[in-house]
């Protein structure tokens, strides 16, 4: 059975074809002006879902990068403080050895004791080092100092750590345990220095070298641990930077257009549309019935 072709059928078919051509041309014009292959989810639902997933990964990667940068700054601050503490303790050791000379005059002993007092104050300042308002040896505590200046009590949060997340399943500690490094109250390194100064002022020879070496070893060991964590953080920064470039390339491949190709397609679509208009105008000539209606 043959379908009956009427002028109305021809006109509806021609109109539908012209509308399709115009829609395609409009889409290409929008892509050329926005430089985006997807301007709304309905343009390509599958690609839109993929683009949203990649953008979520880009945001997460950017946050991990910021965390790594901040964590590296924390670790740099801790390392600098431990370096200063090492230098101070080395000087304390030298003065203790010097004070063991039984031939020293009382004035010389007092001079060494005064210098030890100053070194203790310097070391206390190092132990209270802060970064962006947070004390780097006080754990998760938000107090302004890790140690009190009178009793040398540890004022930080015990059994706590400041960490930075640099991956979905990876965190790195960025602070150091002040109580483990410097001690607490009468068992602190500050009280130890006070004892050495008191011994010298009392006219006796200090015998705290073993204790000094123990504290010095603890500080050096913690600095090595901080250095290892900082190396991990720096490697993570490099990895995150590489991932950022990869994710951006994925996003561009999904969302962005090849402008040259779109311009060529647009020109071809314009030619197609103009040809369709010309052909339709020649085929669908007005008839007497059009005027009678």
Pick from 64, 261, 239: which is nearest to 164 by CA? 64
CB 179, CB 154: distance < 8 Å: yes
Band (pLDDT 50/70/90 cuts) for residue 284 is low
Q: Classify domain 53-251 at the CATH class level.
A: mainly alpha
Write down the pLDDT at residue 234: 94
- Between CA 272 and CA 254 the distance in angstroms is 27
- Between CA 167 and CA 288 the distance in angstroms is 76
Structure confidence by residue, pLDDT tens digits, 25-40? 767 666 666 667 676 6
- Between CA 127 and CA 182 the distance in angstroms is 8
Q: Which two tokens stand for residue 140?
A: 């998760």
For the cut 70, the answer to whether the pLDDT of residue 276 exceeds it is no
Q: Which residues pair with 138 in a beta bridge?
A: 177
Structure confidence by residue, pLDDT tens digits, 112-157? 999 999 999 999 999 999 998 899 999 888 888 899 989 999 988 8
For the cut 80, the answer to whether the pLDDT of residue 186 exceeds it is yes
Band (pLDDT 50/70/90 cuts) for residue 84 is very high
- Between CA 26 and CA 34 the distance in angstroms is 12
Q: Which two tokens stand for residue 48?
A: 């839109």
CB 137, CB 183: distance < 8 Å: no
For the cut 80, the answer to whether the pLDDT of residue 289 exceeds it is no
Pick from 126, 127, 86, 91: which is nearest to 112 by CA? 91
CB contact set of 14 (below 8 Å; sequence gap of 6+): 276, 280, 283, 284
CB contact set of 130 (below 8 Å; sequence gap of 6+): 136, 144
Q: Is the pTM of this model over 0.85?
A: no
Residue with tokens 């007497």: 288
For the cut 90, the answer to whether the pLDDT of residue 196 exceeds it is yes
Structure confidence by residue, pLDDT tens digits, 150-167? 999 998 888 888 999 999
- Between CA 133 and CA 157 the distance in angstroms is 16
- Between CA 173 and CA 219 the distance in angstroms is 17
Give me the phi and psi of 154, to 5 degrees please: -75, 120
């Amino acid at each position: 059975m043959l379908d009956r072709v009427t002028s109305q059928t021809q006109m509806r078919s021609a109109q539908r074809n012209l509308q399709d051509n115009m829609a395609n041309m409009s889409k290409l014009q929008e892509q050329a002006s926005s430089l985006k292959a997807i301007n709304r989810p309905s343009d390509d639902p599958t690609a839109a879902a993929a683009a949203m997933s990649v953008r979520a990964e880009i945001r997460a990667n950017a946050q991990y990068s910021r965390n790594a940068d901040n964590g590296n700054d924390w670790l740099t601050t801790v390392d600098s403080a431990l370096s200063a503490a090492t230098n101070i303790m080395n000087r304390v050791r030298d003065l203790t050895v010097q004070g063991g000379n039984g031939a020293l005059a009382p004035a010389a002993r007092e001079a060494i004791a005064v210098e030890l007092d100053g070194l203790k104050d310097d070391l206390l300042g190092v132990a209270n080092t802060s970064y962006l308002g947070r004390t780097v040896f006080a754990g998760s505590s938000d107090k302004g100092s890790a140690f009190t200046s009178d009793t040398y009590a540890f004022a930080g949060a015990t059994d706590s750590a400041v960490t930075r997340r640099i991956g979905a399943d990876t965190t790195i500690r960025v602070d150091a345990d002040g109580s483990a490094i410097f001690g607490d109250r009468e068992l602190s390194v500050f009280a130890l220095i006070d004892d050495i100064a008191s011994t010298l002022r009392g006219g006796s020879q200090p015998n705290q070298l073993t204790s000094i070496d123990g504290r010095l070893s603890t500080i050096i060991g913690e600095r090595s641990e901080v250095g290892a964590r900082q190396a991990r953080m720096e490697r993570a920064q490099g990895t995150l930077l590489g991932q950022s470039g990869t994710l951006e390339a994925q996003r561009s491949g999904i969302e962005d257009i090849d402008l040259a190709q779109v311009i060529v397609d647009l020109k071809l679509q314009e030619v197609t549309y103009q040809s369709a208009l010309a052909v339709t105008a020649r085929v669908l000539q007005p008839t007497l019935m059009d005027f009678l209606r």
